[in-house]
Amino acid sequence: MDRAEAFAMLKEAAVEVLAVDPSAVTEEARFKEDLDADSLQAAVALMDIEVEFNITVPDDRHEYKTVQDILNRIVALQAPSLSATASES
């Protein structure tokens, strides 16, 4: 899975769990400020992401302020080489 596919899946999960317009879910979007997610919604979103991607996201939720923060973690957990490629661009 490449970064674009991971983002598409993450976006779909965010739209479903947070009930936001798909256009609001950008990599720069902040969960609390931009997507109006409360702590319960953020926890549910993370659980859905773990199931969807078959990964375990460390319980450092305070580190995940933006969609990009989660996307970077997903990519790193899925394939470390994707993370390196994305940071080079």
CATH of the domain at 49: 1.10.1200.10
Residues 6+ apart with CB under 8 A from 43: 61
Q: What is the pLDDT of residues 16-52, one digit of tens each?
A: 888 999 999 999 999 889 999 887 887 787 788 888 8
Strand partners, 30: 66
What's the whole-number mean pLDDT along residues 9-22? Answer: 90
The whole domain housing 13 covers 3-88
Number of domains in the chain: 1
What's the token pair of residue 17?
């769990």
pTM here? Answer: 0.76
Q: What CA–CA distance (Å, rounded) separates 21 from 35?
A: 9
